[in-house]
Each structure stands twice: as structure tokens, then as C-alpha cells.
């Protein structure tokens, strides 16, 4: 029987996972927007695919937020304690700024590159499509609320959809949101994504950052507070989450916790609790193979013996077949031995007519014996 060892991620591991995941999201998403010339489909898929891949990679460690709005929605929805919010948001902001700096540096590989207005930043009004600020705020609020609702739903402990499909649904939802809102605001739904490149995109972009910080946080707060009201928690809320600001243990990991999504704290496929994405139990180094049958030790030199008959891998002993059964040999009547005369002239015992070694019988069944000369 395999032994499953619980490995609760440390705070440092969660921080590193959020930094790296947010870096990849901003670098590839905004990088595609910059170098594809603003191609809508390519940019939308770049953001959606990076969230999908990073969620599969680091969802086990940190839950795969990569977004301060998602973290806020998780804590208000009862999935994460307030004590971890600062750690998550700091990691996400750091990862986004590192990605923005990398894009800014690489852009200077082109002669005459100007970062102002060319960093994949968000926009409204005269700096973009002419979309009014209040409309941009409502759009970002609505899109973020939809995104957080989807995340809370697919990571709900009651959701019978295979937990391994959670990141796929979240990534597709983000791509869908980008398709609808890129022409209007450049699509934020993520304050870290907006800040990470906005600070390198010039004064006008920095001035507009307030909207792309406030609107996503408001949308996430609405989704986090309303999801339990509309659909219930599905699991006991984490201590110190929601409207309870009493704190909570930093190492808390319970079923339904946002960190527990994608098969941590939920039953896995193949009936193995806590296994990673439904994988079968793995043999630990130095531990016996769970699929190998034990062997009996040999008293001599400790060499293994074959298991006794009847165990796995050995032929079963069958009871001897009874006469007349299928496979049993047919019993033949014993042959009558030929009787030798005790001395010459003594007749033999009469045999059965027609038997080997006996003279043919006559018509009346008697045997004639001739006297020797």
C-alpha cells in the first residue's frame, strides 16, 4: 500500500510561485500585445494560455492567483485568510514589475524604440479608443466580477467537474474577456498587470492607473461577497476570511480553500485522495512496490523464496480428478494374466473366448484340450 505524504507549501514557496506566475503572465501577455501590433486574437490567447499553463504549474503551491483582484475575491469568498493577502499581493506586484522591466529593456533592442505608449498598457479616453472613463470603470468592474465568479465556481468543492479541468476553464474565461474588451480598454481585470507595464509607458499611462486598480478590486469584491450568498460556501470558510478580520493560520489548508484547488484537499481521480491531478500512487524511494506481491524470506542467506502455491503468480493446486470427470484418465479393467500349466499335461483355466492367448472357442463354448504325445 502506497504512503501519501502531505507537503504543505511554505510561505516562501507561495511567494515565489506568485512572483514567477505573474511574471510569465505579464511578460507573455503584454509582450504579445506589443510585438503582434495589437492583434486581438493573439493577445487574448496569450493571456488565457499563460494563466492556464501557470495555474497547472503553480496551482498546487499557491493556488495560482497571479492577480490581486483574484486574491481579494478569494479572501472575501472564504477561501483564503486575510493574513496571507499582503504576501500574495506583494508577490504579484513584484512579478509584474519585473516583467515590465524586462519588456522595457528588450524593447531597446530595436533602434529608436520609444516606451511611451508602446508597453501594452491599459487606456481609456483620449489615450485610447475614446471610451469614457465611467464606461471603462464599469466594463473593468463587470469583467473582473465575471472572472472571479468563474474561478470561485470551478474551484468549489461541490463542483463535480474533474478538478484537473479547472485551469482550462479559467484560462478560457480570461481569453474570452480579452476578446470582448481589448479594443475598449486594453483589458486589465488585474491591477498588477496594469501597474507592471504602466509605470514604463509614460506619464499619461501612470495617471490613468487608478481606474485599472480600483475597478478590478471593486469587481472582485462584489464577486467574492456575492458568490457565497448566491450559491453557498460548499465548505466551511477558512478562519479569518470573508468579513471576519480575526486573522487565520498562515499554514491553513482545508478542503474548499482557494489554495486547495486543482486536487489539493479534494478527492483525486483514480480514487487516490490528495494525489496530484489524479495520478496513481507513486512508489517512494526505498519503499516496496505497492503492486508487487511480498515474498517469503529464505532462512538461508536471506534470499527470497517463491510464494507458496496458491499465491499470486503461482499455479493453483487442483484436487485429483475423479474417475469419470473431464480430464481424468479412464480406468481400464485389469487384463487377465495367462495361466501357465503347473506341469505338462495340466490344462489351463478356461479363458474368455476370443481373448489373446486363448484358443478360439467352439460353438458350445467349451475348450478342447489335446493330450500331448
* CATH value at residue 217: 1.20.1080.10
Answer yes or no: is 169 within a domain: yes
Predicted TM-score (pTM) of the model is: 0.68
Q: How far is the C-alpha of 215 from the C-alpha of 205, rounded, in Å?
A: 16
Overall domain count for the chain: 1
Domain of 236, in residue numbers: 11-278
- Contact criterion met (CB below 8 Å) for 183 and 129: yes
Answer yes or no: is 373 within a domain: no
Q: How far is the C-alpha of 86 from the C-alpha of 306, rounded, in Å?
A: 60
Answer yes or no: is 321 within a domain: no
Half-sphere exposure of residue 93: CA atoms within 13 angstroms, side-chain side: 12
Answer yes or no: is 343 within a domain: no
Residue 233: predicted pLDDT: 83
Q: Which of 65, 99, 101, 102 is nearest to 85 (CA)?
A: 65
Answer yes or no: is 3 within a domain: no
* pLDDT tens-digit profile, the chain (373 residues): 555 555 789 999 999 999 999 999 999 999 999 999 889 999 999 999 999 999 999 999 999 999 999 999 999 999 999 999 999 999 999 999 999 999 999 999 999 999 999 999 999 998 888 999 999 999 999 999 999 999 999 999 888 766 678 999 999 999 999 999 999 999 999 999 999 999 999 999 999 999 999 999 999 999 999 999 999 887 889 889 888 765 444 444 433 333 444 333 333 332 333 333 333 444 444 444 444 445 554 444 444 555 455 444 444 555 555 554 554 455 555 555 555 544 444 444 444 444 444 444 444 544 445 555 4
Residue 261: predicted pLDDT: 46
Answer yes or no: is 304 within a domain: no
The residue behind cell 491553513 is 252
Answer yes or no: is 285 within a domain: no
Answer yes or no: is 186 within a domain: yes
Amino acid at each position: 500500500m502506497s504512503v501519501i505524504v502531505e507537503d504543505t507549501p511554505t510561505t516562501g514557496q507561495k511567494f515565489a510561485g506568485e512572483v514567477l506566475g505573474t511574471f510569465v503572465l505579464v511578460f507573455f501577455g503584454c509582450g504579445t500585445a506589443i510585438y503582434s501590433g495589437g492583434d486581438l486574437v493573439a493577445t487574448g490567447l496569450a493571456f488565457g494560455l499563460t494563466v492556464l499553463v501557470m495555474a497547472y504549474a503553480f496551482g498546487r503551491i499557491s493556488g495560482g492567483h497571479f492577480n490581486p483582484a483574484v486574491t481579494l475575491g478569494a479572501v472575501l469568498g472564504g477561501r483564503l485568510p486575510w493574513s496571507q493577502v499582503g504576501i500574495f499581493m506583494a508577490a504579484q506586484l513584484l512579478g509584474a514589475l519585473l516583467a515590465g522591466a524586462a519588456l522595457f529593456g528588450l524593447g531597446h533592442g530595436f533602434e529608436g524604440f520609444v516606451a511611451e505608449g508602446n508597453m501594452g498598457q491599459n487606456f481609456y479616453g483620449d489615450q485610447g479608443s475614446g471610451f469614457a472613463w465611467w464606461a471603462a470603470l464599469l466594463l473593468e468592474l463587470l469583467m473582473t466580477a465575471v472572472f472571479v465568479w468563474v474561478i470561485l465556481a470551478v474551484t468549489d468543492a461541490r463542483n463535480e467537474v474533474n478538478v484537473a479541468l479547472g485551469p482550462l476553464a479559467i484560462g478560457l474565461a480570461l481569453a474570452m474577456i480579452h476578446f470582448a474588451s481589448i479594443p475598449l480598454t486594453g483589458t486589465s481585470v488585474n491591477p498588477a498587470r496594469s501597474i507592471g507595464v504602466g509605470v514604463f509607458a509614460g506619464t499619461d499611462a501612470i495617471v490613468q492607473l487608478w481606474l485599472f486598480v480600483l475597478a478590478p478590486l471593486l469587481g472582485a469584491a462584489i464577486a467574492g461577497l456575492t458568490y457565497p450568498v448566491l450559491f453557498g460556501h460548499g465548505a466551511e470558510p477558512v478562519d479569518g476570511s470573508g468579513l471576519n478580520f480575526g486573522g487565520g493560520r498562515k499554514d491553513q489548508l482545508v478542503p474548499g480553500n482557494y489554495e486547495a484547488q486543482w486536487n489539493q484537499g479534494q478527492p483525486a481521480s483514480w480514487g487516490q485522495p490528495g494525489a496530484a491531478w489524479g495520478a496513481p500512487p507513486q512508489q517512494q524511494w526505498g519503499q516496496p512496490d505497492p503492486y508487487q506481491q511480498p515474498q517469503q524470506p529464505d532462512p538461508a542467506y536471506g534470499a527470497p523464496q517463491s510464494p507458496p502455491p496458491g499465491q499470486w503468480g503461482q499455479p493453483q493446486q487442483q484436487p485429483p480428478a475423479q474417475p469419470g470427470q473431464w480430464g481424468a484418465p479412464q480406468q481400464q479393467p485389469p487384463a487377465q494374466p495367462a495361466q501357465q500349466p503347473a506341469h505338462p499335461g495340466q490344462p489351463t483355466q478356461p479363458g474368455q473366448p476370443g481373448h489373446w492367448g486363448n484358443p478360439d472357442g467352439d460353438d458350445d463354448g467349451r475348450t478342447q484340450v489335446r493330450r500331448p504325445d
